[in-house]
Amino acid sequence: MQKMNDKNFVQKPKTLTELSVGIRSGRTKSVDLTNSYYERIAALNPTLNVYLSLTKERALASAAKIDALAAKGAELPALAGIPVGIKDVLVTKGAPSTAGSKILKGYHPPYDATSVAKLEAAGAVILGKLNCDEFAMGSSNENSAYGPVRNPVDIDRVPGGSSGGSAAAVAADLAVATLGTDTGGSIRQPASFCGVVGVLPTYGRVSRYGLIAFASSLDRVGPFAANVRDAATLLNVIAGHDTMDATSSQRPVTDFTADIEKPVKGLRVGIPSEYFGEGLDPEVKQQIEKGIDQLRAAGAEIKEVALPTTQYAVPAYYLVATAEASSNLARFDGVRFGHRAANADTLSAMYRRSRDEGFGAEVKRRIILGTYALSAGYYDAYYRKAQQVRRLLAEEFLTAFADVDVIVTPTSPIPPFKLGEKTDDPLAMYLADIYTVTASLAGICGVTVPCGTTSAGLPVGMQILASHFNEGTAFRAARAVEAAQE
């Protein structure tokens, strides 16, 4: 087992292509591969706290099925035998699905999320459920009721959030690829913090059926992988219309890997000055500028674009997201799901105490904020205003995308910070979401790709945004950045 020093647990997984060749030829047995991942998980999980639960029986049964098919020489599906992990906000039949919350401790859902079912139908082996911030609320994974995940690059630092487990699993090779969710940055920021690739698909591209809702107009499911091609391959599998999610798009899904190697010569890359000003760490800035120079050297045309409403994005996001959360989380009342307070005298005491005992501090803060924003007398001042900002942001992006194919920014203004560094200052934590919440509000897609490191060796991620349903273009630009680092 490769271990660079006491604080670094990074190991690049084999690529999907390499593994697939082995499995298809019968040289690699899926069962052996699965067991080797479980061994690595047993060794590293006590330190990294990436997995909340394992689905061993299910995984080994899928793996055995793949091996039997391979032995018969049968045609194998796209992800045959590939070990993957699932963020614990996506439900899995008969297996714990806690959303990182105490309130859902012991909840074993009766069905699979569509994205999970699609992965498995494509042959993927589901290793287990990944740690995350409670109900996906957070930017550091420190809001998980089950303890923080540690960043495999430096275990004294946070992996980002809310999909911290999904990012760390790929970085430490505890899964070849994973699923996470992104409401305001929860795929992109942890991917950036852990030095892996993360994808924000267009809103509607991937079904939300079986995703435990945080903010339904913003929530998206997307993949993490160690390289751009693997991430695109996963998106191929999970994308597409689902009759169980009325907001999922009817658009046909094209092969997202098709244009990945296409040169970026002539690709128009927009740079918004709003993402390069105050608050941006100088070392992050330097790495992103180097990445932009590499795109220019590869023939891309670099242009300025204006996104002036960016300055209102964080307050708008934290109003819309908390308003929706306050409504979505009303269902956790101790009656149908998870935790119920013992010995309550009345029904309302049972509701109150179940919620008080089951929810963590950040979730309570958001329910209170959201309830306030929606209350009579404040609705116009807060929620309606936030929706207006959302509309302006979306229009600005559309105007920008009339001139450019992609927009490039840092994914996070700062490199991964130390555990505990920001837990006492929720506002500082919220402000760090500045570069990711804009695309969330606008519904557009994007990819974050590793783009150098700081002098301390901490990963920097470049965010590459594209207009609605143009994931392929974002992948193409991301691949060029990735190739320039190789």
Query: Is 144 assigned a catalytic role?
Result: no
Give the separation between CA 180 and CA 190, rounded to whole angstroms. 10
Closest residue to ligand GLN using C-beta atoms = 186
- Please calculate the CA angle 24-25-31 and round it to the nearest 5 degrees: 65
Query: Is 62 assigned a catalytic role?
Result: no
Which region among 4-12, 44-52, 181-189, 297-305 touches ligand GLN (by CB under 6 A)?
A: 181-189
Q: Residue from 264, 321, 394, 400 that binds ligand GLN (CB under 6 A)?
A: 321
Peptide bond into 162 cis (omega under 30): yes
Q: Residue from 134, 396, 433, 471 that binds ligand GLN (CB under 6 A)?
A: 433
53: helix, strand or coil: strand
Interface with ligand GLN (CB under 6 A), residue total 13
Give the separation between CA 87 and CA 78, rounded to whole angstroms. 21
Residue 136 CB, nearest approach to ligand GLN (Å): 4
Residue 419 CB, nearest approach to ligand GLN (Å): 16
Please list, in sequence order, all residues whose beta carbon lies within 8 angstroms of the beta carbon of residue 299, skipping any fewer than 6 positions away: 263, 264, 265, 266, 267
Query: Is 7 assigned a catalytic role?
Result: no
Between 84 and 123, how does the x/- string for binding to ligand GLN read (CB under 6 A)? ----------------------------------------
Which region among 134-142, 351-359, 391-399, 406-414 touches ligand GLN (by CB under 6 A)?
A: 134-142
Strand order of the β-sheet with 51-54 is 51-54, 125-130, 83-87, 177-182, 220-225, 197-200, 445-453, 459-466, 406-410, 268-272, 301-305
184 touching ligand GLN, by CB under 6 A: yes
Q: Residue 408 in contact with residue 271, Cβ under 8 Å? A: yes
Which region among 44-52, 136-144, 200-208, 371-379 touches ligand GLN (by CB under 6 A)?
A: 136-144
Write out the DSSP string of 403-440: T-SEEEEES-SSPPPBTTSSTT-HHHHHHTTTTTHHHH
130 touching ligand GLN, by CB under 6 A: no
Between 391 and 430, how does the x/- string for binding to ligand GLN read (CB under 6 A)? ----------------------------------------
Binding to ligand GLN, residues 204-223 (CB under 6 A): 214
Binding to ligand GLN, residues 212-271 (CB under 6 A): 214
Q: Residue from 178, 186, 207, 438 that binds ligand GLN (CB under 6 A)?
A: 186
Q: Are strands 197-200 and 445-453 parallel, antiparallel or unpaired?
A: antiparallel
Give the separation between CA 96 and CA 106, rounded to whole angstroms. 6
Phi-psi region for residue 473, left (φ > 0), alpha (ψ -120 to 50) or beta? alpha
Query: Which residue from 90, 96, 34, 22 is spatially nearest to 65, judged by alpha carbons?
Result: 34
- Kindly state the tokens that stand for 199: 């994808």
Which region among 48-56, 132-140, 303-311, 453-461 touches ligand GLN (by CB under 6 A)?
A: 132-140
180 touching ligand GLN, by CB under 6 A: no
Give the separation between CA 141 and CA 134, rounded to whole angstroms. 8
Shorter beta-carbon distance to ligand GLN: residue 182 or 230? 182
142 touching ligand GLN, by CB under 6 A: no
Give the separation between CA 86 and CA 127, rounded to whole angstroms. 8
192 touching ligand GLN, by CB under 6 A: no
Q: Which of the residues are catalytic? A: 87, 162, 186
Which positions touch ligand GLN (CB under 6 A)? 136-139, 162, 182-186, 214, 321, 433
